[in-house]
Homo-oligomer: A and B are copies of this chain.
Amino acid sequence: MRYSTSFAKTSKTAPHDTESVNARFLTQGGFVHQEMAGVYSWLPLGLRVLQKVSTIIREEMNALGAEEVLLPALQPKEGWLTTGRWDSMDDLFKVPSRSGKEYALGPTHEEIVTPLVQQFVKSYKDLPVAVYQLQTKFRDELRAKSGVLRGREFGMKDMYSFHASKEDFEAFYQRAIKAYLQTFSRCGLDAKVVEASGGAFTKKLSHEFQIITPAGEDTILACLSCFFAQNSEIATYKASDRCPQCGGELVMTKGVEAGNIFDLGQRFSEPFNFEVSLEDGSRQKVFMGCYGIGTTRLVGAIVEASHDERGIIWPKSVAPYHIHLISLGSKDRDRQAHIQSAALEIYETLTNQNVEVLWDDRQDSSAGEKFADADLIGLPLRLIISEKTLKEESVEWKARAETEQRLVKVADVLEEVGQFLKPL
């Protein structure tokens, strides 16, 4: 991508919501644009991150054996009356229509997915079933805040599983925990599994996935060596205790919640009367679980967990592009043309090998502006081509996460980039 041709550029103006690191860097970096409190537009760079995160999630959910569907945001009132949540859920948007009917604008999809799966599933032989979607959710938050972490409209992966027995549910639930940890790990994040109370959904046990970052809104007691953690409010251990899982050290730290999973029991199969026949001929209400990852929130959590004072430091797996290529100007017109053509050649060599390059080809921006933009946007690797580097037949190579820079021969760039990106 030639940066000069993208409409959405970096901005020097900090957004109103300056207390939130993700809002500041995502907005100033040209990743998102706030339309109103809790509602964002995703610009080309931000959408690429969201799509990469979504692809990782899809792969992990498919590997679990779950099937992807797409359920509607606009939902009939009847299902919500059936479960009792039409009146009990405070943050449910209720949409009036011209015909006098009211619809729910889905904050979650149990009211849709339960009768949907019920329609196809009659016997224990048809179970287990797990379905998921990547879809947009709506919640009438009184105080939308923290940038893309808590919105009125937000992206979510929600999965629902259906089982003929509690044991089958529990086995799937454990596999889901592993898939979630794998998902966060592939997004470059250090995630902990935290036992939590189920909030509005259920009194049953549930788990949150917390991304460790000093900017987190939740305080947790976490193991330095494994995935174990507890919510500080209900912790049964204390800091400097040994981890009950692995014997590692427990420390008090901050986290951002990026996912949660719930045992729904028969909370929804009961009101919808979703039964299956068992092997012995008896009938059984199905057991359900639900499993959420906030996709837009996850992008914000990555920024909270991975940045410095100059901008974002994207993990390679979710960076909108791999390489930030900068061609500097020259007062000499011929040399300027030479720099641009050398940059073009590197750009084409790399993109032809499916390396994703954002080329800052602007001719009216200073070197200082370009460096500041590269740090703000935060791609994993910065390559600079200038008069100085071309004298050495080289480019200047600097990884965003490191402080050293060095010269790399133009002829070796493709090979070294391949090494740099190898883990992908």
**Which residues of A are interface residues toward B (Cβ below 8 A)?**
5-9, 33, 35-36, 39-44, 47, 50, 65, 67-76, 90-91, 93-99, 105, 112, 116-117, 119-121, 126, 129, 131, 136, 138, 140, 142, 152-153
Contact = CB atoms under 8 A, between A and B. Distances in A.
Given A73-B73, A76-B36, A7 B67 contact: yes
A119 to B, nearest CB: 7
**Majority-rule SS of A interface residues:** mixed
B90 A69 contact: no
17 contacts: A7-B120, A8-B69, A33-B116, A33-B119, A35-B76, A35-B112, A35-B116, A39-B74, A41-B69, A42-B71, A43-B69, A74-B153, A93-B97, A94-B96, A98-B140, A99-B142, A136-B136
Given A73-B153, A136-B136, 13 more contacts: A5-B65, A8-B67, A8-B69, A35-B71, A35-B75, A39-B75, A41-B69, A41-B72, A42-B71, A73-B138, A91-B98, A93-B95, A95-B95
A72 B39 contact: yes
Nearest to A30: B120
A387 B197 CA distance: 56
A105 B95 contact: yes
How many copies of this chain does one complex carry? Answer: 2
Given A41-B112, A95-B105, A131 B74 contact: no
A142 B101 CA distance: 11
Given A76-B35, A98-B140, A7 B70 contact: no
Contact of A129 (B7, B41, B68, B74): B7
